[in-house]
Structure 1
Amino acid sequence: MKVATFTIAGERRVGVVDPDARIVTPFSLSAEQASRGIVALIERNGTGTPRTLSPIPLDAVTLEAPIPLPARNIFCVGKNYFEHAHEFALSGFDSSASGGAVPKHPIIFSKVPESVVPTGADVVIDPQVSVAIDYEAELAVIIGKGGRGIARENALDHVWGYTIVNDVTARDLQGRYSQWLIGKSQDTFCPMGPWAVTRDEFDLERASVRCFVNGEMRQNAKVSMLIFDIPTIIATISQGITLKPGDIIATGTPVGVGIGFDPPKYLRSGDFMRVEIDGIGALENRVSERTA
């Protein structure tokens, strides 16, 4: 099931998407429930989905991020594809490079919730803050059942579903500070969407992640090529940290980011980014420049 958070006539709603028929069928949720996006469904704890209302044309709604304002920082995994680990280690911006190009354990950082924007929204760059903005196409995991000390073999039981994240990054800020949060958490630097897909409908072995900038394919890799797979990531984070329903984990980006080119292909105002993941859809965002 594909589930979207959207607004229509000033109201936020949550519904089942049929991309082929170009319709979304809202669930019967209160305004307070729908305000949290798909978390309203996740927290039902397997008690079933609410009844549905009449379908609405997709063109008549405005899509929001599946979880418009996550309750906590988005967990992210760095250097989690072999080729990307090498391209980043050679970039000069990798503060972890002294430990080797390929990490021995998952590198975990975070992005603040307020960096989240939906498909169709602009990624706004501020040239007074950074002049080295990059894209990173990623599969994101949405936790359905919380837990602490989750065993790797049981980890996928804790997954509600998946969505797409573009982990937009200010490379110069990432290189300047030992921690990555500032360079990763700039306003609008976490496009998410266009909707989420439940775990039962997503094929981790066959799905590929692709990124296009102005129609040029920059990234293309299978999710199965992750250095640390999703069960390992969940087990690692939950060692001492209690994961909660609605938590989001961005799993890492493949080779082909802007910093990997010579010269680097940084984002500029007017650029158009499209991130595709098989079985989910496409996340599209244009880059604009802050004017004030």
Structure 2
Amino acid sequence: MTGQHPVEIDTTRPHPARMYDWYLGGKDNYPVDEAMGRQMLELDPRVPVMARVNRAFMQRATTWLAGQGVRQFLDIGTGIPTEPNLHQVAQRAVPDARVVYCDNDPIVLAHAAALLRGTDEGATEYLQADVRDPDAILEGARKVLDFNEPVGLSLIALLHFVPDEDGAHELVGRLVDALPPGSHLVITHATADFTPEESAAATEKLKAAGVTLALRSRDEFTRFFDGLDLVAPGVQVPHEWHPELGDPIPGQSDGIIPGYGAVARKP
């Protein structure tokens, strides 16, 4: 593992990765994460469905990319391992796929061994770094990935935790600029477009707990793909992007899932 630091887990404040784990029914979370998760459920009981829809989108997008011949993947904002993980999906289709995971949460580092059990033909690596430091991510990724060949860059349910003042669009641009032609950008992102009142309340509750939530509109989300070629069917609510590549998530059709997902190719 690269970029490794001592594991120091702050259990006094909720963390998005651990809340996400709780939504998915995992056990790698703490009472503070469950307490905030339950507050989010009071605002919108579909939050666990949203978490599962995001995971399913990642699996379908990875399957699609592998089918297009992509054999290298950089997954930023990996989160706590939840099977099937991205490398399992990719290496099931392409046994020699190379995957680099990246996250800034120490608890993910503590469980990173689960992310590194890939095929003998392929390679998996984990580095601890923050999306706000793209240079460190790229430096670590280059030790495993060949940046002369296409890379699938995944940012699943991550960028809504990066506010505009941190330069979210610019950070994505710096990452994409480093990738060769034929690479793809994969993003899902929460939005307030469909549930403005609930989203405003959730944003305030999370802010009070020290978690920033930047819910972007469809136009703001689409800006992440400026200069790239959107893959059909373009920007969609996540479960409507190539649903034929996976199984539906129970509850995904019970109202609109307040988020967007898309994949785009670098020309």
After TM superposition, the score normalised by the length of structure 2 is 0.31
Structure in which a larger fraction of residues adopt strand: 1
Q: Which has the higher contact order (CA 8 A, sep 6+)?
A: 1
TM-score w.r.t. length of structure 1: 0.29
More helix by share: 2
The structure with the larger Rg is: 1
